[in-house]
A and B are shown apart, each in its own frame.
Chain A
């Protein structure tokens, strides 16, 4: 079970969090003309990298903040966590 550092609460066990997927996906702006292909990429296509990955976790049984976690998907090492609005490196 992972031990995730929440920038708002401190280190907490994984069972307080819900996984939220790839944090690098950016929602297309509202009212923007966009092709089927682009929209399809946004809604359905995700990379599944082995190694470093920036992902979203929701501290659902804690502060209820969405946070970004930089994690190695094969070793589970967590390098850094960010607040939702914090710029990632």
Chain B
């Protein structure tokens, strides 16, 4: 297919490399360096989508990030990437894109009927049309809105692409590589500063690529090429293209999204798709340039109406003509540059200038080139549905209120220029309150809140000379604050055409009897009439008008629409724009992929995975793992076709009958050392610690200041000033912070140090009646008899040459020991235990059996100590000292905690001895009581008691002590179960605790 709109001798795309791609299933070709937009325009395609509300035909309006129309959906390898701006996405071989927001096709769109039902879609239509009756919402309104709305479909599949994060520090971050960005980066870099220069587009240079200027005897494009080449060669400079700084956060933290392989075919296996940079900059120079403002007239959303600067860039950068019969509609000199460019490429434009008799260099040049110019003229309305075919133009009176001599002119595109709007978004995000500049009819940044300066046209400097001078100065000034090198480079001379003042005109009045839609917000279909309506309905604050009409709320964030919206509101309100103010700019400046924000922290990588040194053994022995915080722990060891239930029962039974071994490496371990360690523990735990002898362990409970149990565990006195504290797996990190808090801030006079040793020790719990015999064989040189190592005793031992620590403590309620060795010996220890334990019928057991064992013993764990229980509730009041003070003690005497019917832990057994009680069930007196049924408490943990071979649960219920023996009901509305139960003691097995002391 021939490219009818491609120019031959102009542009920066690589003519030697043809690239084919498909758009809506049809094959097109372009050149390397083309965007989807430039390649489609080269092929004469201007209809690419449908608008949001009225489904009006949509073409291309801009040439970059400001694009409100050409939002496409990219598809490759069955993956979808919605919300792609055709003006930014570069083409690559095999690229597939399609239109969005149109059904069944872009050419025939059923939703366009909305265009004829406009009366139903005025401002605030969401709040009006779709409100009543409420029953219609789910069935009719919502499905309708969902089908008709939206910019593409998100894929529901897992995103296989890779996104990375990077942290970077620099002296000066410069956002944009136009003239001000290049000049300031050069000045700062030459002064020794570490510089990052970020450019959103693939090519560096910004407006220098398209403007007819001269810097230091070179063309703008040549000069930018020279500067960027030198910057790239400097070791103190990072230069990044395809990189958008989209967010300015606190303390000069900026976030930049780098598109690494979005423009490449999916063949680079190890290249990430995008990289998110978190940049902490000492100084920021915002050189994000400015965006051309549209002019508002009838049907100004018709495909073929576009910004004049975009038309120029399509010619100069891509070698593409947006039309062959262009109409230039301008209120300033910029439109003339586009007209001159058309003329130079053999196309005859017609200029309509709203000004009466302006004169300047570029106007003279246009006249000399023989370009036809009509002063005091405007476009009244564009004609044509899917593409501009002609325009109604008119002469406008000096007061800009009356139209005359309306005539129809044939044209195939209308290039508009309503002057320039500085991109102050980043400055605004940084906290900089902007001010309205009357001269340019736009806001510019005011006083910096953070270390930032806005330069160039983003700061309202619209001549190249001002821009270059300011940028060289600022680049030197901010870098010198940091480097103090005093190395100032000389500023090159600038040659440019002098321009004259723009016309403060932006909206063409409607001719008598016509009601053309004049659009302000092109993506959200907000027209002049919508704003007028909102104001008639009483909306005054610009923030309210924005939300009611959705002006500036689309994915382009109103980059082209905001100012015209403000102008309209201020005109109607008879105010000046600064009184109206502008809405707040918030990050991101441009849409950012969720994938980029998430980075590598997906799936298993969303948190670290911690494994015990015995992990490989567990794997080899068919362990089924469970996440315990960030740890992976064996839940059970599967034999044959066993279920979880069968396996855990077998493992738990074997502990009660023979001996089992459980990996307890994950328990938190903290070394507490120092002469005041005992005193410290005495303040941290609820029970007494001052008299614990060396070589003994004690169970302790610690509270928060509000009296709630924070954690429990055993702590052992290893030597005079050295204690080994254990915490639950889940609370290990919190307990360490808690201890550090009290040592550093509350009682700094205590001479104590704490440090986590969790990862230094591998632990194995050996539990069951055969455990002592097994230990005797493991430690033949150590006396582990009941006298030599009594319950809650501690000893060091020698495990086949490896130093080990033996604690006689028990969670299972059986005779049990915990053996710790240095982590590196963990697997050795484990294999020895299994090997030697064979003759005692040892079996490893997982967390499920561990739970069963502790539940039927009535030992509390995380499901009871759930951040709501005080010691009494968990039957731990015996451990609360009456004599001494400790953290949280004062709270325990608060009225709610001492009322007689306070909750208490109990055991629950189903009357039929077969129905398991779902965890979380309510305990109630009357299952048929009116809802909400007053509950006595809840079931915290359930198991199948291997001792009695029936279900058993723990529950925390009101006045639990006096409930024992009562017949109540466990209700689970979630599982729709009501189970008659009997309340029993929570100590279901061995209530006297004989076994652990045996």
Interfacial residues, chain A to chain B (CB-CB below 8 A): 1-3, 13, 18, 20, 27-28, 30-31, 34, 36, 39-40, 42-44, 56, 58, 60, 64-66, 75-76, 78, 84-85
Contacts and interface: CB of A to CB of B under 8 A. Distances in A.
Given A3-B253, A64-B740, A75-B431, 14 more contacts: A1-B253, A2-B251, A3-B251, A3-B252, A3-B280, A18-B737, A30-B885, A34-B890, A43-B705, A44-B706, A56-B745, A65-B740, A78-B251, A85-B748
Nearest to A64: B740
A2 B885 contact: no
B683 A1 contact: no
Contacts of A3: 250-253, 280
Contacts of B706: 43-44
B746 interface: yes
Ranked nearest first, the 3 interchain pairs of A and B with the lowest CB-CB distance are A3-B251, A30-B885, A84-B744
Interface string B247-282: 001111100000000000000000000000010100
A1 B278 contact: yes
B449 interface: yes
A37 B585 CA distance: 45
Contact of A66 (B167, B278, B431, B745): B745
Contacts of B280: 3, 13
Interface in B418-474: 431, 449
Contacts of A65: 740, 744
A31 to B, nearest CB: 5
Contact of B249 (A1, A43, A60, A66): A1
Given A65-B744, A85-B748, A39 B737 contact: no
A56 B745 CA distance: 10
Interface of B: 167, 249-253, 278, 280, 431, 449, 683, 705-706, 737, 740-741, 744-746, 748, 884-885, 890-891, 894
In this complex, the member of A30, A44, A60 whose beta carbon has the largest number of chain B beta carbons within 10 angstroms is A30
Contacts of A40: 894
Contacts of B737: 18, 58, 60
Contact of B891 (A13, A18, A39, A60): A39
Nearest to B250: A76
Contacts of A18: 737
Contact of B251 (A30, A64, A76): A76
Contacts of B748: 84-85
A20 B748 CA distance: 17
B993 to A, nearest CB: 32
Nearest to B746: A27
Contacts of A31: 884-885
A84 B251 contact: no
A13 to B, nearest CB: 7
B744 A39 contact: no
B894 A75 contact: no
Contacts of A78: 251
A42 B705 contact: yes
Nearest to B736: A64
Contacts of B249: 1
Contact of A58 (B740, B746, B894): B740
B24 to A, nearest CB: 42
- Most chain A C-beta atoms within 10 Å of own C-beta, residue among B251, B741, B748, B884: B251
Nearest to A29: B885
A11 to B, nearest CB: 9
B703 to A, nearest CB: 11
Contacts of A27: 705, 746
Contacts of A1: 249-251, 253, 278
Contacts of A75: 431, 449
A58 B739 CA distance: 12
A39 B431 contact: no
A37 to B, nearest CB: 11
A71 to B, nearest CB: 10
A20 B741 contact: yes
Contacts of A2: 250-251
B606 to A, nearest CB: 15
Contacts of B251: 1-3, 76, 78
A28 B747 CA distance: 11
30 contacts: A1-B249, A1-B278, A2-B251, A3-B252, A13-B167, A13-B253, A20-B741, A28-B890, A30-B885, A31-B884, A31-B885, A34-B890, A36-B894, A39-B894, A43-B706, A43-B891, A44-B706, A56-B745, A58-B740, A58-B741, A60-B737, A64-B740, A66-B740, A66-B741, A66-B745, A75-B431, A76-B250, A76-B251, A78-B251, A85-B748
Nearest to A38: B890
A80 B280 CA distance: 19
A64 B755 CA distance: 10
A78 B252 CA distance: 13
B306 to A, nearest CB: 39
Nearest to A66: B744
B883 to A, nearest CB: 10
A30 B884 CA distance: 9
A44 B707 CA distance: 12
Nearest to B683: A30
A28 to B, nearest CB: 8
A75 to B, nearest CB: 7
A64 B213 CA distance: 58
A27 B738 CA distance: 14
Contacts of A13: 167, 253, 280
> Most chain-B CB neighbours within 10 Å: which of A40, A43, A65?
A43
Contacts of B431: 75
A36 B892 CA distance: 11
Contacts of A20: 741
Nearest to B755: A64
B158 to A, nearest CB: 26
A3 to B, nearest CB: 4
Contacts of A84: 744-745, 748
B546 to A, nearest CB: 24
Contacts of A30: 683, 885
